[in-house]
Amino acid sequence: MRNRSFHRRAVVVTLAAGLIVAHAAWAQPIQERTIRWGHLQNKDHPVSAGANKFAQVVEQKSGGKIKVREFPSSSLGSESQQQSALQGGTQEMMSASTTTLVGIVKEFGVLDFPFLFADEREADALLDGPIGKRLLDRLPEHDLVGLAYWENGFRNVTNSKRPITRPEDLAGLKIRVMQNPVYLEAFKAVNANPVPMAFGELFTALETKTVDAQENPYSIILGNKFNEVQKYLSITRHSYNAFIVLMSKKFWDKLSPTEKQIMQEAAAEARAYERQVARAAASRDLEALKTKGMQVNELSPAETARMRTLLKPVSDKFAASYDPAFMRDFYAEMDCIRKK
């Protein structure tokens, strides 16, 4: 009898000790952590402002326990190198073009379709809605977690040869593009010569005339001083480009529920801030590029319509290779957005 009583008391003590340990772990849901955040842009780019806003919110919400260190200007490597580092757990966060994810979730390619969005409102509605979430939900199986979509902006062509006033003016131009099948096929469709190249190599390639042209939003053109090696800026708005805030799933899985909530709230707050900064900067950056001597022209509505028609088969080709159910919902969502 005494042995059974002793055993019961031992079990109770053990269970109580376990509960105390569990409670202690729950009572301290935020640990001291340092997050390394890498991206390709310079410190004066809106994505840097967004990263700093994220850092401020995280530090405030974590009581100073979680710090975010920014590594701009490709200092942690190319986007593909940083993506691999996140997947391997040797880097915690990065902000990258959604275009870089096409290699692991090909349906991200829909966001690169030429002339997909008429304006930023349409882009926000799709990215922040059900389609954007479905794409994010595909990332954990590839050891990544997507926290939010930020803005890079509408892309425009610069080159050292001539103004682009019609699709035919792109013929023969060696144009640097991201390593993305949609971009490659789109520029081939207008008889340009697309050259995939890491962003960090681009300025030198333009300077040495290894390539004639490139395409990016105004902020990247100005921030990377492409105006020094490119004479012509043609406002084509041929594609909208979003950044995506990515976290290593291996790091994410180490976070407590409280820490995960902090990350999600910070990414959402920083998203609104970064988009505001990016949109305020766009017209200012365009004027600065003119002031610095770039010759700027805008495609007429008629030529834009012609280019859209020429590039539609590219979108149709890739759409046919994507998941049919996803594409059905994607087109339905776009129709709904355009009617609002």
Share of the chain above pLDDT 70, in %: 92
Residue 14 pLDDT greater than 50, yes or no: no
Q: What is the pLDDT of residues 80-135, one digit of tens each?
A: 999 999 999 999 999 999 998 999 999 999 999 999 999 999 999 999 999 999 99
Task: Say if CB 190 and CB 170 are below 8 A apart.
Answer: yes
Tokens 């971009």, located at residue: 183
Q: Which residues pair with 96 in a beta bridge?
A: 244
CB-based burial label for 160 (10 Å; 0-12, 13-18, 19+): middle
Phi, psi angles (nearest 5°) of residue 51: -65, -40
Model confidence at 340, pLDDT cuts 50, 70, 90, reads confident
Q: What is the DSSP string of 276-305?
A: HHHHHHHHHHHHHHHHTT-EEEE--HHHHH
Report the alpha-carbon distance of residue 163 to residue 169 in Å, rounded.
7
Which amino acid type is present at position 138?
R
Res 8 pLDDT > 60: no
Instruction: Kindly report, residue by residue over 247-259, the tens digit of the pLDDT.
Output: 999 999 999 999 9
Give the pair of three-digit tokens for residue 160: 């050292």
Q: Cα separation of 96 and 320, whole Å?
A: 26
pTM for the model stands at: 0.88
| Tokens matching residue 111 | 């966001």
3-class SS shares of the chain: helix, strand, coil, % to 5: 55, 20, 25
Looking at the predicted structure, is the pLDDT value of residue 24 above 50?
no
Position 77, amino acid: G
Handedness of CA 141, 145, 149, 153 (dihedral sign): negative
Count of alpha carbons within 13 angstroms of residue 229, beta-carbon side: 17
Average pLDDT, the chain: 93
**pLDDT at residue number 3:** 52
To 10 degrees, what angle do helices 324-339 and 120-127 make? 140
Could you tell me which residues come within 8 angstroms of residue 119 by beta carbon, excluding any fewer than 6 positions away?
none
